[in-house]
Amino acid sequence: MKIEAVELRVVRLPLVTPFRTSQHSQDERIALLVCVHTSEGEGWADCPVSPGPFHEPEFLSGSRAVMAEYLVPMLMAAPGVTAARVQAVLAPVKGHQMAKAALETAVLDAELRAKQMSFAQYLGAVRDRVPVGVSVGITGSLAELISQVEDYLEQGYKRIKLKIEPGWDIEPVRAVRQRFGPDLALQADANTAYSPASAHRLRALDEFGLLLLEQPLAADDLLGHADLAQLLTTPVCLDESITSPRVAAAALRLGACSVVNIKPARVGGYLAARAIHDLCAAHGVPVWCGGMLETGVGRAANLALAALENFTLPGDISATARYFTEDITAPFTLDDGHIAVPSGPGTGTEVLPGVLDRLTTHREILR
C-alpha cells in the first residue's frame, strides 16, 4: 500500500462539563486527527495528545511537527507500507509514541477498510458489546460529587472511577461508598499525585473495598509501586507507567501491579496494545481500556480493543454524551451499561464532513 498524502486536522470540541484531575483541568478537547490517503483508500486516527506537555511528554504542536518533518516523509518513502511495518519504518525516530500510534492506526484503518475487515475482527474480539465505566473528575464539594455519581449510575454505568489527589482522597471515597453501598464497583485514580511517603494515607483506602487504585506514584517509579503493592490490600493498577510491552513485562516481573490499564496511544498503537493484553493474560493479570478524551474515531477503535478476552474490567470509554454534545462521528450511546462494538470495515465509524469542517481550527496536507 502506497501512502500518497497525510492530512492533519486540529478540532476543538467543548466538554459538557469541566474535567479536573490531580494534574490538570480542562473545559474543551483540542484534538489532533490524522487521515492517511493511500492507493487503496483512506484511514483515520485520533492522536489524543494535550495542547501542552503537562500531563504527557508529547503535546499537540510537537506531534504535528514531528509528523510533518520526520514521520510522514519516512512512511511515504517506504515501499509497500502496512500497519505491521509502521513501527519498524519509524523506529529511527526516538520516542513520540502517540504520533507513531496515530499514523499506525490510520494506516491500519485504511488497510482494513480495503479488506472489508473490522478492527474487532482483526484484533481478535470475542464480544460484540462491552461494559463501560465512567471517570468522575475532582469536584468542588462532596455534594457535587455525590450528585454526579448518582446521575451516572442512573444512566447505567457499570463502574465509577473517582479522581483523587492529596487532600481529596479519603473523604470523597468514603462519601461515595457510604452513599451507594458496598456493591458499587468503585475505583480511584491518582494520576501520579502521591509519593512513597504517602503510603500510610493510601493504606486508608483499603477499608473501602476498591476494585483498584490506579497510578498512585510517578510514572517511572516501578520499584516504588512494587513496594506499595506489598503494603496495600487494594490492587495497584498501572496506567501512566505502561508505555510499551517491554515496560509492561518489567512491571509484572517486579510485582508493581496486579491490574493494567492499557491506553493504545500511549503504548504505541493497537498492535502493541494487543501484545500487552496477551502478555497480561499469560500472567493472569486482568486489563481494561483507559480513555484519553478521544473523539468518536478513537472511541470506536478503543471499543474494538476492549472486546478482547482479557479485558475483564469495564473501561473508561463511556458514551459520547459523557464528554461532548457534538462529535465528529455519530454518537456512541449507552445500553444497559454497555456500548456496542462497531462491526463495519476499519474502525466501523465514519467522520461527518460537515461537522468536521465546522469544528476544524487547523488543517494541513502533507504530500
Ranges of beta strands (E only) in 48-144 are 129-131, 134-136
| Cα–chain center distance at 143 | 28
The active-site residue out of 100, 158, 161, 263 is 263
Identify the domain containing residue 178 by its residue range. 121-340
CB 224 within 8 A of CB 189: no
The per-residue pLDDT for range 237-261, each reduced to its tens digit, is: 999 999 999 999 999 999 999 999 9
CA-CA distance, 244 to 222, in Å (whole number)?
A: 14
- Examine residue 267 and state whether it is found in any structural domain, yes or no: yes
Per the structure block, which three cell numbers stand in for 217?
Answer: 506514584
pTM equals: 0.95
CA-CA distance, 130 to 119, in Å (whole number)?
A: 14
Name the one residue in this structure whose C-alpha cell is 467522520. 351
Ranges of beta strands (E only) in 253-295 are 259-262, 287-289
Q: What does the angle CA 280 – CA 193 – CA 52 come to, to the nearest 5 degrees?
A: 90
The per-residue pLDDT for range 277-314, each reduced to its tens digit, is: 999 999 999 999 999 999 999 999 999 999 999 999 99
Q: Are residues 175 and 278 in the same domain?
A: yes
Q: Are residues 358 and 332 in the same domain?
A: no
Q: Are residues 104 and 217 in the same domain?
A: no
CB 321 within 8 A of CB 17: no
The per-residue pLDDT for 10 is 98
**Any idea what the CATH number is for the domain that residue 247 is in?**
3.20.20.120
Told to judge if 115 belongs to the known catalytic residues of this protein, a careful annotator would answer no
Q: Are residues 111 and 171 in the same domain?
A: no
Q: Are residues 128 and 58 in the same domain?
A: no
Q: Are residues 53 and 194 in the same domain?
A: no
Q: Are residues 174 and 84 in the same domain?
A: no
**Any idea what the CATH number is for the domain that residue 362 is in?**
3.30.390.10
Q: Are residues 276 and 253 in the same domain?
A: yes
The active-site residue out of 100, 158, 161, 163 is 163
Task: Report the number of distinct structural domains present in the chain.
Answer: 2
Longest dimension (CA), the chain: 60
Q: Are residues 72 and 171 in the same domain?
A: no
Per DSSP, what are the bridge partners of residue 46? 33
Per the structure block, which three cell numbers stand in for 184?
Answer: 458499587
DSSP 234: S
- The predicted model gives 140-167 an average pLDDT of 96
Q: Are residues 260 and 186 in the same domain?
A: yes
The per-residue pLDDT for range 176-204, each reduced to its tens digit, is: 999 999 999 999 999 999 999 999 999 99
- Examine residue 345 and state whether it is found in any structural domain, yes or no: no
**Sign of the four-CA dihedral 33, 157, 124, 97:** positive
Range name among 20-34, 134-148, 223-237 with the lowest pLDDT average:
20-34
Per DSSP, what are the bridge partners of residue 340? 129
Told to judge if 263 belongs to the known catalytic residues of this protein, a careful annotator would answer yes
Q: Are residues 303 and 272 in the same domain?
A: yes
